[in-house]
């Protein structure tokens, strides 16, 4: 059995339309109700409206990405019990509407983080990029987080200072907007708001955040299991502490803790090769093998790292991730399943006509179309060589 080919869509305002997606070869859609404020319940009517919109274009809504976890839940403070109950009801409503895979993340305050959205590649396309000196410049000089200098090596602190001194006001505002970009279509935060959000975590360390995640999973997994929902936690992106915040989904040790803390078949992983691949320490084929049947959803993209740990998003079959070895392990897992595991080509270069169009960072159409085509070909070759056709 092969993997199921899906495509992320950010709703009616996405520059890539459902009609466009229909032509890519993707079979299913990965999306969310981004108009619903974080933590609020998704109603059946809203879910069914979005589902009907997708099905009208000959596609299916295969995966939710994401039902966002409210910050009160992550900190186990304020109205966290209220938000957990709403989360449970959202899961029930999604199941009632026939949607069975829900992705989420437990990254505090900031979601995925980059420092540049248009790094030029040798072929003229553009890629997303993460640079530690730019991150330090934002953290130390723009955000002005207390104690930030202590979180970076001395050479990075010096480089950040030099870049700040050479930058214009426009440069600084541009960098801040990128670091705090968040999810396309959702409201952007300001630096004062970011400071307020970080302050909530001043007494929360890695151990406490882990415990808060385990508590959340203990609450929602019985509901998910009862209604046939498979949960898929997304790794931290990048898989390291940033802005003084602990990250707790970085490596196999973290994932093993998550899966063992609540040993429910509903408790699973979104295996993201780009996020996990940004760490030198992660052996992705071995991780896929170890996670096994708890892989509920797959993101396939590639990254290229330098000695400092800066990285850019490379072609899907380029970069540091051995995509052949990863795909082979995922297909071994797939052969034990009665249903296809959904995957999507995660991110893609801005290229060709998309260079002159408005696109969501990482989610232009043509770069992902190239990635999907390459990944489909790789999968077909492996399946044929293994006698799985």
Q: Which residues are catalytic?
A: 234, 272, 299, 346-347, 363
Q: How many CB atoms lie within 10 A of CB 36?
A: 15
31, HSE (Cβ side, Cα atoms, 13 Å) = 29
**Assign residue 108 a region: left if phi > 0, alpha if psi is -120 to 50, beta otherwise?**
beta
Strands 295-300, 311-314: pairing is: unpaired
- Alpha-carbon distance of 192 to 239, in angstroms, equals 25
Instruction: Determine phi and psi for 50, rounding to 5 degrees.
Output: -65, -40
Q: Is 60 exposed, middle or buried (0-12, 13-18, 19+ CB in 10 A)?
A: middle
Strand order in the sheet with 116-120: 116-120, 126-130, 311-314, 302-305
Task: Give the DSSP H/E element, type plus range, for residue 160.
Answer: helix 154-166
Q: Give, to the nearest 10 degrees, the angle between helix 206-226 and helix 252-261.
A: 50
């Amino acid at each position: 059995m092969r993997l199921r080919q899906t495509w992320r869509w950010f709703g009616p305002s996405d520059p890539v339309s459902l009609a466009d997606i229909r032509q890519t070869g993707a079979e299913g859609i990965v999306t969310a109700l981004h108009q619903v404020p974080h933590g609020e319940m998704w109603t059946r009517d809203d879910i069914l409206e979005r589902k009907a919109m997708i099905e009208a274009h000959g596609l299916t809504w295969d995966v939710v990405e994401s039902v966002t976890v409210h910050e009160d839940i992550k900190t186990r403070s304020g109205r966290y019990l209220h938000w957990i109950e709403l989360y449970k009801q959202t899961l029930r409503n999604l199941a009632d509407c026939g949607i069975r895979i829900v992705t989420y993340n437990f990254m505090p305050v900031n979601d995925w983080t980059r420092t540049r959205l248009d790094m030029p590649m040798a072929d003229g396309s553009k890629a997303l990029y993460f640079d530690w000196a730019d991150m330090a410049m934002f953290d130390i000089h723009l955000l002005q987080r207390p104690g930030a200098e202590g979180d970076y090596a001395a050479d990075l602190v010096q480089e950040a200072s030099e870049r700040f001194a050479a930058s214009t006001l426009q440069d600084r505002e541009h960098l801040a907007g990128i670091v705090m970009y968040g999810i396309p279509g959702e409201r952007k935060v300001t630096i004062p708001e970011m400071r307020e959000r970080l302050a909530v975590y001043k007494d929360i360390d890695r151990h406490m955040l882990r415990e808060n995640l385990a508590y959340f999973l203990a609450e929602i997994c019985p509901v998910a299991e009862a209604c046939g929902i498979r949960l898929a936690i997304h790794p931290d992106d990048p898989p390291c502490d940033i802005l003084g915040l602990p990250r707790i989904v970085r490596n196999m040790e973290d994932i093993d803790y998550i899966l063992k803390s609540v040993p429910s078949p509903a408790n699973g992983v979104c295996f993201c090769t780009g996020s996990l691949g940004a760490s030198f320490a992660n052996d992705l084929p071995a991780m896929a093998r170890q996670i096994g049947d708890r892989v509920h959803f797959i993101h396939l993209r590639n990254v290229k790292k330098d000695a400092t740990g800066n990285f850019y998003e490379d072609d899907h079959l380029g970069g540091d991730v051995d995509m052949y070895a990863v795909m082979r392990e995922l297909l071994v897992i797939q052969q034990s399943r009665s249903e296809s595991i959904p995957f999507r080509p995660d991110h893609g270069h801005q290229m060709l006509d998309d260079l002159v169009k408005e696109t969501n960072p990482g989610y232009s159409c043509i770069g992902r179309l190239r990635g999907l085509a390459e990944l489909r070909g790789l999968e077909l070759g492996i399946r044929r060589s293994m006698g799985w056709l």
